[in-house]
Amino acid sequence: MVTLQFIGGGRMAEALVAGLLADARRAPGDLRVVEVSEQRRAYLAGEFPGLEVASEVSDCEGLVVATKPDAVVEALRAAGSHRVGRVLSIAAGVATATIEAALGGGRDVAVIRAMPNTPALVGRGATAICGGSSAAEEDLEWAEALLGAVGVVERVPESLMDAVTGLSGSGPAYVFLVAEALVEAGVLNGLPRDTATRLATQTLLGAATLLSRSDQGAEELRAMVTSPGGTTAEALSVLEDRGVRSAFMAAVSAAARRSAELG
Ligand SMILES: NC(=O)c1ccc[n+]([C@@H]2O[C@H](COP(=O)([O-])OP(=O)(O)OC[C@H]3O[C@@H](n4cnc5c(N)ncnc54)[C@H](OP(=O)(O)O)[C@@H]3O)[C@@H](O)[C@H]2O)c1
């Protein structure tokens, strides 16, 4: 029986497979990907030599559901007649209760739901997980080990998954918007576009790395670069006047509300 089987071989599944195979303890033969698109199957087989890529589900110890949310129930029904140890779903907004019902309510399969984000593609994801009605500590640890291959993992109650979606699920898009704006601002002030792009990218990367490694929080680190009457104080006063802080708060809340509606 295969150790880990993915249903849906899209971008997120590809990121997870790449992350898992980067760990020498896992071999391509431990993994299997079930994908409906023939073109995508050929791509995955070429990308990961030795990985089994198929069009039909088989028995497995762990099943990772990585289709789009509206395809989850149908995909799980296809898995219904097979032996499955645990299920990990990364589909946005699909509740563990829905997954348990789609698997066939009577089956004692531990279900874990996760919300990853796209930096998982480069091993820097931020993922939150929660367990379904029959998930035990060892099931959550299994999911943490799996998702830990592509970034950091936090446990939350399922009631907070919409908030997670609003913050870290959609979060990379907010950062890309900031990056776009910084590049345009650099160009407006005379910098060549490629120079502005490199400087803006490294500024975001450097600031995030500093924040993640420092004992100090964001507020203290910001104060460190804000000398009284200086250039940064001038810039921050413009951002505060224009409501950037409250705009981010409203944006995350709007995304969380939308996630709840879609769920
Ligand atoms: N990308 C993100 O930022 C992000 C963040 C957090 C969570 N997620 C979640 O991750 C999941 C996957 O996202 P993604 O971006 O990887 O999507 P994607 O690239 O569209 O991948 C989904 C793949 O599953 C295939 N598929 C659909 N139904 C199937 C079935 N019954 N059996 C086997 N394969 C099937 C699709 O084929 P067709 O295209 O031919 O239908 C597609 O290749 C989504 O549920 C999403 O909510 C994504």
Determine, yes or no, domain membership for 165: no
Q: How confident is the model at residue 106, as a pLDDT?
A: 66
* CA 137 – ligand 1 centroid, Å: 27
Pocket test for ligand 1, best of 58, 68, 76 (most atoms within 8 A of CB): 68
- CA dihedral sign, ordered 124, 125, 128, 129: negative
Burial of residue 147 (number of CB atoms within 10 Å: 0-12, 13-18, 19+): buried
Residue 253, domain member (yes or no): yes
Residue 208: predicted pLDDT: 97
> Is the entire prediction scored with pTM above 0.85?
yes
39 and 71 inside one domain: yes
d(CA 40, CA 77): 22
Q: Quick one: 203 and 133 in the same domain?
A: no
Q: Which residues pair with 87 in a beta bridge?
A: 63, 111
For residue 90 and ligand 1, the question of a CB distance below 6 A is answered with yes
C-alpha dist (Å) from residue 173 to 59, 87, 170, 244: 37, 28, 6, 16
* Distance separating alpha carbons of residues 50 and 136, to the nearest angstrom: 32
Choose one of 124, 157, 190: the last residue of a domain: 157
> Cβ atoms within 10 A of the Cβ of 248, count?
13
Judge if 112 and 239 occupy the same domain: no
The tally of domains found in the chain comes to 2
Range of the domain at 177: 171-262
243 and 211 housed in the same domain: yes
74 lines ligand 1 (CB under 6 A): yes
Same domain? 93 vs 198: no
| Boundary of a domain, candidates 135, 157, 179 | 157
Same domain, 26 and 145: yes
Residues 128 and 182 in one domain: no
Using 70 as the pLDDT threshold, list the residues of the chain that sit under it: 1, 105-106
| Residue 18, in any domain of the structure | yes
Residue 116 to residue 154: CA distance in whole angstroms: 10
CA dist., res. 148 & res. 125, Å (int): 9
pLDDT in tens, 54-74: 999 999 999 999 999 999 999
Q: Is residue 166 part of a domain?
A: no
Same domain, 42 and 6: yes
Cα-trace Rg, the chain = 21
For residues 133 and 186, state if they share a domain: no
